[in-house]
Amino acid sequence: MSKRTIIIAGSGVFGTAIAERLAWNTQNQVLIYARSLDVVNEINTDHKNTKSFSTRYINKNIKAFNDLETFNKASCIFLAIPSKTILSFCDKIKPYVKENTLIVNLAKGMSEQGAFITEKLPFNRKASMKGPTFAIELLNGFPSAFTFGGDKEDYLYIKNKVLEHTALTLDYTKDIRAVELLSILKNMYAIAIGVVSGRYNSPNVDFLIYTKSVDEMRRFLTLFNCESSTIFKYCGLGDLGLTSLNDLSRNRTLGLLVGKGFLQDNKSTTVIEGYRTIKVMHEKTKEKDLIDEYPIVTALYRLMYKEETITDYINTVFK
């Protein structure tokens, strides 16, 4: 039986980790696209990617490349590159990608222009896959889960063929936009919850603000004409829980630093995905004259962009 060629576009920590898991399935020929020739050579020669995981070996059957022509071999491409650069990257590879190739977006966040990434991808067959998955946990082989947003036929192909023997679990929705939106929102609400955790260090308070955040996320789904029930998928409650209540999360860590008063200058936070989302979502609620229905977003915007005090923030979100 011939192997299916699976390409992971991106050799960072998440791309490397997902490549490792997909290589568990011996029917997958897993290739990693890397911009750096040094990374390509190290993966192919030493079976390591020290730029992402300094002390770890990866499956010796994983191969790396950096020419665009190789994308023509793919039956499926997983996009694991930064959300802000993903659309320009896809424009570059499009001439080399076969028309029936399935493109799966793993990147969490918005494009540089603030758009839903999957909706802007220049391909016919596309999907989104998001869930509560830290890269190191994937690399270490722990059972992990994603939500697959896309056509049912593509979901079954990924679930039953590509992910077979990988200990990766999927749930499903046809609402791709909902999966994308939740991956954007959870970063923002992880900051919001982190601020409160930094101030109080109390499980009671953590889950008070967590529950309020879930309710606001559900209302955002309705605002963007998405299926509100998607909040109960792995990409919803699962990913929010992982990102907002675990200290490995950069967005939660940012919130903790703000809540503890350690971060007075927000200039250094602009590279964190959730920080950018705060402004975009606040402007959306303002445009719809719905600011009062989204008190956490409103308070977080004023705290992070208008230099209101943490006390003002706390008073607003606890109402």
Last residue of a domain, one of 174, 205, 223: 174
Is the domain of 82 the same as that of 137? Answer: yes
SS3 assignment, position 16 = helix
Q: What's the whole-number mean pLDDT along residues 211-232? A: 97
Residue 265: the pLDDT is: 60
Number of domains in the chain: 2
Q: How confident is the model at residue 247 (pLDDT cuts 50, 70, 90)?
A: confident
Q: Is the pLDDT of residue 113 over 80?
A: no
Q: What's the whole-number mean pLDDT along residues 283-303? A: 95
Could you tell me whether strands 4-9 and 76-79 are parallel, antiparallel, or unpaired per DSSP bridges? parallel
Is the domain of 27 the same as that of 77? Answer: yes
Q: Is the pLDDT of residue 231 over 80?
A: yes
Q: What's the whole-number mean pLDDT along residues 156-181? A: 97
Q: How far apart are CA 201 and CA 296, in angstroms?
A: 19
Mean pLDDT is highest, among 1-5, 85-89, 114-118, 228-232, for: 228-232
Q: How confident is the model at residue 130 (pLDDT cuts 50, 70, 90)?
A: very high
Q: How confident is the model at residue 264 (pLDDT cuts 50, 70, 90)?
A: low
Could you tell me the pTM of the whole model?
A: 0.94
* Residue for token pair 């900051």: 191
Positive or negative: CA dihedral 103, 105, 110, 112: negative
Contact 178, 148 (CB under 8 A): no
Last residue of a domain, one of 137, 156, 174: 174
Residue 146: the pLDDT is: 98
Is the domain of 36 the same as that of 159? Answer: yes
Could you tell me whether strands 63-65 and 168-173 are parallel, antiparallel, or unpaired per DSSP bridges? unpaired
Is the domain of 89 the same as that of 186? Answer: no
CATH for 37: 3.40.50.720
**pLDDT tens, position by position, 173-220:** 999 999 999 999 999 999 999 999 999 989 999 999 999 999 999 999
Q: Is the pLDDT of residue 60 over 60?
A: yes
Q: How confident is the model at residue 170 (pLDDT cuts 50, 70, 90)?
A: very high
Q: Is the pLDDT of residue 316 over 60?
A: yes
Q: Is the pLDDT of residue 273 over 80?
A: no
Walk across the sheet containing 168-173 and list its strands: 63-65, 28-33, 4-9, 76-79, 102-105, 126-130, 144-149, 168-173
Please give the single-letter amino acid code of residue 78: F
Q: Which two tokens stand for residue 64?
A: 């790396």
Q: How far apart are CA 276 and CA 218, in angstroms?
A: 20
Q: Is the pLDDT of residue 114 over 80?
A: no
Q: What's the whole-number mean pLDDT along residues 251-278? A: 78
Is the domain of 106 the same as that of 241? Answer: no
Is the domain of 277 the same as that of 200? Answer: yes
Q: Which two tokens stand for residue 266?
A: 């927000």
Q: How far apart are CA 12 and CA 57, in angstroms?
A: 14
Is the domain of 141 the same as that of 203? Answer: no
Last residue of a domain, one of 123, 143, 174: 174
Residue 271: the pLDDT is: 54
**pLDDT tens, position by position, 84-104:** 899 999 999 999 999 999 999
Q: Is the pLDDT of residue 112 over 80?
A: no
Positive or negative: CA dihedral 82, 85, 90, 93: negative
Q: Which residues have a Cβ under 8 Å from the Cβ of 162 and sit 6 or more positions away? A: 4, 6, 22, 25, 28, 76
Q: What's the whole-number mean pLDDT along residues 216-233? A: 97
Please give the single-letter amino acid code of residue 181: L
Is the domain of 158 the same as that of 244? Answer: no
Is the domain of 230 the same as that of 146? Answer: no
Query: Among residues 165, 164, 162, 170, which one has the least CA distance to residue 144?
Result: 170
- Structural domain boundaries enclosing 216: 177-317
Q: How confident is the model at residue 270 (pLDDT cuts 50, 70, 90)?
A: low
